[in-house]
Amino acid sequence: MVNQTVRSGQQVYAPEGDLIILAPVQAGAEVLAAGNIHVYGPLRGRALAGIHGAESARVFCQSLEAELVSIAGHYKISEDLQENGWKSAVQIQLRDDLLVVTPLDKA
């Protein structure tokens, strides 16, 4: 669990489980987890969940503004993410080898 802002150039790694961040993830920062990633603030950097191949991993954030999101090696970059759920609370999951963004109020 991380209680402070993850700043540009920083990397936070949870090799065996979920990663919970109670602050913003700034642009240029990277958060990685074997399991799920929860960001209780804006996600502006990169989030890589399920880094060991866990296709059931998810990314949750209060405001999707990410440079890149990846689950089990499947990824979307900022330009693709802006099509759905941008700057809102969402969950991102892998379905049929595609990353799907769902608003948290409809999850």
* 36 assigned to some structural domain: yes
* 22 assigned to some structural domain: yes
Structural domain boundaries enclosing 81: 11-98
* 19 assigned to some structural domain: yes
CATH number of the domain encompassing residue 26: 2.160.20.70
> What's the CA gap between 23 and 43, in Å, rounded?
9
Contact 20, 3 (CB under 8 A): no
* 107 assigned to some structural domain: no
* 20 assigned to some structural domain: yes
* 106 assigned to some structural domain: no
* 54 assigned to some structural domain: yes
Question: What pLDDT score was predicted for residue 105?
Answer: 82
Task: Find, among 72, 61, 56, the residue nearest to 101 by Cα.
Answer: 61
Question: What pLDDT score was predicted for residue 107?
Answer: 52
Low-confidence residues of the chain, pLDDT below 50? none
What's the number of domains the chain is made of?
A: 1
> What's the CA gap between 54 and 83, in Å, rounded?
25
Contact 72, 59 (CB under 8 A): no
Task: Find, among 17, 104, 22, the residue nearest to 64 by Cα.
Answer: 104
* 2 assigned to some structural domain: no
